[in-house]
Structure 1
């Protein structure tokens, strides 16, 4: 449980620092012989700040509970 708690803390802190992820996806639209048409789409994944805070708090709780059990 301690390892899971540490992972949650790290992921939560990263979620608080980086509030979204943006990436570009290239898609082939037309491919007729030597002619090729591609389309680039920009995608963004957003998450709320409280999701990172919940992950950090949950991770801390797992680490503390694991120490009390041992």
Structure 2
């Protein structure tokens, strides 16, 4: 079983310098969504992101079995 499927809350993989990541953070905050935010270096994206996102890019939002990416 992958580490990805063990997460019980929504997880947002974000680039702290990316304007699209900021937009997603704003919407999540405005909606009051509880989310774990993982700040990632865009030059060193974690292996976990490459497991769930075929484009291996940021931002990526993971909610149990649902993955949203650009």
Shorter-normalised TM-score: what interval?
A: under 0.3
- Normalising by structure 2, we get a TM-score of 0.24
- Normalising by structure 1, we get a TM-score of 0.24
Bigger relative contact order, structure 1 or 2 (CA pairs below 8 A, ≥6 apart): 1
Pick the structure with more helix per residue.
Answer: 1
Pick the structure with more strand per residue.
Answer: 1
Larger C-alpha radius of gyration, 1 or 2?
A: 1
